[in-house]
Structure 1
Amino acid sequence: GCTSLWLTQTLKLYSLHGKARRVQQPQPPAYRERVEGAESFPLDFTAVEGNMDNFMVQIKNLAQSLYPCSAQKLEQDMRLHFLKNSSVTCNDGSPAGYYIKESKGSRRWLLFLEGGWYCFSRQTCDSRYETMRRLMSSTKWPQTRTGTGILSPQPEENPHWWNANMVFIPYCSSDVWSGAAPKTDNSDYSFMGSLIIKEVVNELLTKGLDSAKVLLLAGSSAGGTGVLLNVDHVAEQLRSRGHGGVQVRGLADSGWFLDNKQYKFTDCLDTISCAPTEAIKRGIRYWGGLVPESCRQAHVGEEWKCFFGYKVFPTLKSPVFVVQWLFDEAQLTVDNVHLTGQPVHEGQWRYIQNLGQELRSTLHDVPAMFAPACLSHELITRTYWMDIQVKGTSLPRALHCWDRSLHHSLRVNGSHGAHGPQRARGCPLRLIDSCPWPHCNPSCPTIRDQATGQEMSVIQFLKHVGFDVQKMAQQQGMDPRKLLGMLNNGS
């Protein structure tokens, strides 16, 4: 069974890339005798250079098809480990931990920081503890987790990272991964987000991270902001432990928030309606939050600014790839724009369009990013993450281009500087939609009416938010029928 499986996969590979030439190399006589006439020939892959991605997928499928043949059953799920250092805890004092799926042959590590808002006062944290306990306590965490999106072990769902060592770090510190404050007699909660990351990295060094080539620190939402706050800390930690050869990079998904003015001002009573700046100002004091040293020096006395992507990004040394919806639902929520039930007023509609423009301008100096004009939140762990495209390129493809560019500039310059990857031809790194309203990109994920849960078409959605086709056509200087046709086609 296994031999024939191997044979069919190999033949498939050869028929697809028959151009890979054998390069015969003379062997010393002793060697030839020792292997009893077996011939050895490295493959010359110059012929498949142009189609390398496809070729690698075939190779990986070959490897995948051989897994059932190995004696050990391949463990697909990530398994829970509590930290050995029991002084590093979740909010309620229960032990922090991580889920891991090791991949023995791989020197690539992916550490993912979970998201889930935050709390910034005794009152907001008490309320969070009542309603979202798993984000403050590890007492009910399951023993295993299944990875999806960039954490999936399946090549068809995760073409470039499926074989990496996968680590999922659950969020139970409610501090945007910034805190370093233990529970005391005066405080009911500990906030240890940044210490949890540090401790996980320490433990992984005994599991093979010490000989890693690449460590990608990724995260979504509050975890995405956590990446911006911690990626340089992690690089420094590895350097100081003598592992400076590990290339540390960041992938921040839906964590690039704006400290903008709310659509409607509200008092800071709960997490959801509190303006972003006010929530973070209160939070950083309550959590004893840490920010990257270079950003702290740039904003002395206003360290809260370092929680906002466009302020912290220019101060970072590690390369970071930014994934950000231009119309992020969490941003709209804290800005008090609620797209449920009632049609949206013209003022809100203008506010939404301005948000897209503001976001675009803050991403101006980011060399590697993926920013679709969709109304959504979080992407890299969604099962549909391969389907979203900007200018014809998917996110996995863009990340692969970024990987290659960093690898190239490392080879050429011996370092990749903070944000200066070399762009390979036909491999785009800056992908941002230029169309001006939510869901003008036809590959956006399905919209659901937040009140009823019903799926909506783009036309239904635009009507729901009070979109005026006549007026918009006038603004764009085009025939209303043409605009309607474009919307129907989703272009």
Structure 2
Amino acid sequence: MNSDRLRQRMRTVKLFYSVLLLALLQSGALEGRKSRGGRNPQPRRAQPSPTYRGRGDTTESFSLDFTAVEENIDNFMTQVKNLAQSLYPCSAQNLDYDMKLHFLENTSVTCNDGSPAGYYMKESKGSKRWLVFLEGGWYCFNRVNCDTRFETMRRLMSSTKWPLSKTGTGILSPLPEENPHWWNANMVFIPYCSSDAWSGAAARTDQSGYAFMGSLIVKEVVKELLVKGLGNAKVLLLAGSSAGGTGVLLNVDRVAEQLEELGHTGIQVRGLSDSGWFLDNKQYRCTDCLDTISCAPTDAIKRGIKYWNGVVPDRCKQAHLGEEWNCFFGYRVYPTIKSPVFVVQWLFDEAQLTVDNIHLTGQPLQEGQWRYIQNLGSELRNTLKDVPAMFAPACLSHEVITRSYWMDIQVKGTSLPRALHCWDRSLNDNSRNNKTAPKGCPVHLIDSCPWPHCNPTCPTVRDQFTGQEMNVVQFLMHMGFDVQKMAQQQGMDPGKLLGMLSSGS
């Protein structure tokens, strides 16, 4: 083809691209409004305006390779589609938002049962922000309770029945109305199949019966993601819930060091630990260490770290030589972490109460149990007071960042997505040598009210037997809260106290 014909073909293709993109964007705006209205006809809170976005939230440029057009028009059209979707992801009704399953190329890094470990991924063309999420799901710490776990929760020990795709929710959602500040990031979900709080580095043996490779799985996933675009990232947010939240505390510095060693010094590695800040306190009622539920946290971790060949951060290991189990507890490992970490923690965490042998059945709590729960909230506040970036509601719950209601919880009038956005802004501003936090943008948020669910934005509580929803007063009375006695202790009228509880004061 001569040069005149080539130039004419290129002009035609460029014109076609411009018209197509304009049509996509125009129809996308309409369809986006329709689909949002169809999903939720009730009015929602106003979405942030463009000026609300921090400089770190802007969509990066997406270049088109016109040299590919002449020989491969299909490849060019794929680029046009990807560009349209990156500029306006709602531009088509049938976009595939799901994360796709990838098994690790290094087959020696496996789940507990020897099946291949892997991850789910959804690329966001043009974005230089990556969110890597570690799933939670308790752990097991000897052959007997690992065998039981394998029989009852095999999905958390084997990849043999993992689905081929997964839909992200909460902070993993690709929808801006559910995830206003991270919806356009590259999303990676790493399923939990190592049962070791993401710490293990042990191959399968006849004696153990299982492999424990949580720390190695994280390392291998990061290595593979570098080939898939992570090497061009500006920010990598390592997030996780429950055991995954503990995994963030154990792995965030190691991921930063891994990237630096491979020459990727420009990637800012940050951590987001949700419901992984456990306390090594004494149980309300001491029991034998038979399984994960009955065993005190300290005893379980002491057994587990040996069984898993658990790996802890070097700086924490040096601070607790011979007692490395300490590094599994947030308030002990956090002071040794160099990477920025945002901590999300319910003040009355259900998982913590469970291992402390406070079981919330349909029966009212005894006074000693009630006092224990209040003390737990006080102890958690004390361990979190020196954490600069945190969100701690006075609620009875467990995990939040991947819940569909995660935008609704507030502490002192600020939602969790807003607080995370403020944290992003503060880190971006500090990297520009501006040490002052953004005005009106708080990042240290902790409830001061002393009872479970004294925060009116807490998730709904239901009676465990009837399934009926309970308001705050009903919930507290259900738990054995003595309004008369507490009012007397506080020196106020019982009616006034009930009013304060109902309003969340």
Structure-2-length-normalised TM-score: 0.84
Q: How many Å apart are 1:6 and its aligned residue?
A: 4.2
**Aligned residues: CA RMSD:** 2.5
Match of 2:433, SS state, is helix
CA drift of 1:477 comes to 2.6
Q: Does 1:482 align with 2:496?
A: yes
Range moving further from structure 2, 442-451 or 370-379: 442-451
Deviation for aligned residue 1:404: 0.5
- 138-147 or 181-190, which deviates more: 181-190
Alignment of 1:160-199 (within 5 A): 160-199=181-220
Query: CA separation of 1:88/1:116 partners in 2, compared to 1, >3 Å: closer, same or farther?
Result: same
Q: Tell me the CA shift for residue 429 of structure 1.
A: 0.8
* Amino acid of the structure 1 residue aligned with 2:320: H
Aligned to 2:467: 453
Q: CA deviation at 1:52?
A: 1.6
For residues 144-186 of structure 1, what are the alpha-carbon distances to aligned partners after superposition, in whole Å with 9 as ceiling and x for unaligned?
Answer: 0000000000000000000000000000000000000011233
Contact kept? 1:89, 1:192, Cα under 8 Å: yes
CA deviation profile, 1:33-70 (whole Å, cap 9, x unmatched): xxxxxxxxxxxxxxxx99721799x998x977844658
Contact 1:5/1:65, CA 8 A, preserved across alignment: no
Deviation at 1:444, TM superposition (A): 0.2
Q: Mean Cα displacement is larger for which, 194-203 or 182-191?
A: 182-191
Is 1:381 paired with 2:380? no
Task: Name the aligned partner's letter for residue 53 of structure 1.
Answer: Y
Q: Give the corresponding residue for 2:52.
A: 53
Report the alpha carbon displacement of residue 455 of structure 1 after superposing the two structures with TM.
2.1
| Residues 103-144 of structure 1, C-alpha deviations (whole Å, 9 max, x = no match) | 011000000000000000001100000100000000000000
Work out which of the residue numbers 357, 361, 371 in structure 2 matches 1:340.
361
Asked if 1:357 corresponds to 2:371, the answer is: no
| Contact 1:2–1:66 (CA under 8 A) maintained in structure 2 | no
> In the alignment, which residue of structure 2 is the partner of 1:101?
122
Q: Secondary structure at the match of 1:239?
A: helix
Structure 2 counterpart of 1:417: none
Alpha-carbon distance in 1 for matches of 2:239, 2:98 = 18
2:175 to 144, 154, 162: 154
Task: Confirm or deny: 8 A CA contact 2:178 2:404 kept in the other structure.
Answer: yes
- 1:465 corresponds to: 479
- Give the secondary-structure state (helix, strand or coil) at the position aligned to 1:412: coil
Deviation at 1:267, TM superposition (A): 0.4
Task: Summarize deviations over 1:275-297 as a string: whole Å, max 9, x none.
Answer: 00000000000000000000000
1:269 pairs with 2:290: yes
SS at match of 2:318: helix
More deviation, 263-272/469-478: 469-478
Alpha-carbon offset, residue 342 of structure 1: 1.4
CA distance in 1, matches of 2:285, 2:323: 24
Aligned residue number for residue 207 of structure 1: 228
- The aligned residue for residue 391 of structure 2 is 370
**2:403 alignment partner AA:** R
Shift in Å at residue 422 of structure 1?
4.1
TM (norm. structure 1) is 0.86
Cα distance in 2 between the residues matched to 1:380 and 1:227: 14
Whichever residue aligns with residue 146 of structure 2, its letter is C
What does 1:55-454 correspond to in 2, within 5 Å? Answer: 66-67=88-89, 74-412=95-433, 422-454=436-468
Amino acid of the residue matched to residue 376 of structure 1? S
Judge conservation of contact 2:86–2:126 (CA < 8 Å) in 1: no
- Partners of 1:268 and 1:450 in 2: CA distance: 26
CA 1:268 to 1:244, structure 2 compared with 1: closer, same or farther past 3 Å? same
Q: Displacement, 1:490?
A: 3.9
Which amino acid in the other structure matches residue 87 of structure 1? S
In structure 2, the partner of 1:40 is: none
Instruction: State the SS of the aligned residue for 1:333.
Output: helix
Supply the distance in 1 between the matched residues of 2:398 and 2:304 (Cα, whole angstroms).
22
1:86 match: secondary structure? coil
The residue identity in structure 2 corresponding to 1:240 is E
What CA distance in whole angstroms lies between the structure 1 residues aligned with 2:405 and 2:412?
A: 17
Instruction: Give the aligned residue type for 1:183.
Output: R
Distance 2:364 2:125 in 1: 54
Aligned mates of 1:206, 1:424 — CA distance in 2:
35
The 2-side partners of 1:235 and 1:78 are apart by: 24
Contact 1:113 1:168 in 2 (8 A): yes
Q: How many corresponding residue pairs? A: 445
Distance 1:314 1:373, change over 3 A: same
Distance 2:120 2:49 in 1: 38
Deviation at 1:382, TM superposition (A): 0.2
Please state how far the C-alpha of 1:247 moved relative to its aligned partner: 0.3
- Structure 2 residue matching 1:402: 3-state secondary structure: helix
Distance verdict in 2 for CA 1:476–1:123, change over 3 Å = same
CA distance in structure 2 between the aligned counterparts of 1:174 and 1:479, rounded to whole angstroms: 50
- Check the 8 A contact 1:251/1:323 in 2, yes or no: yes
Segments of 5+ residues of structure 1 without an aligned counterpart are 12-48, 414-420
Identity %: 75
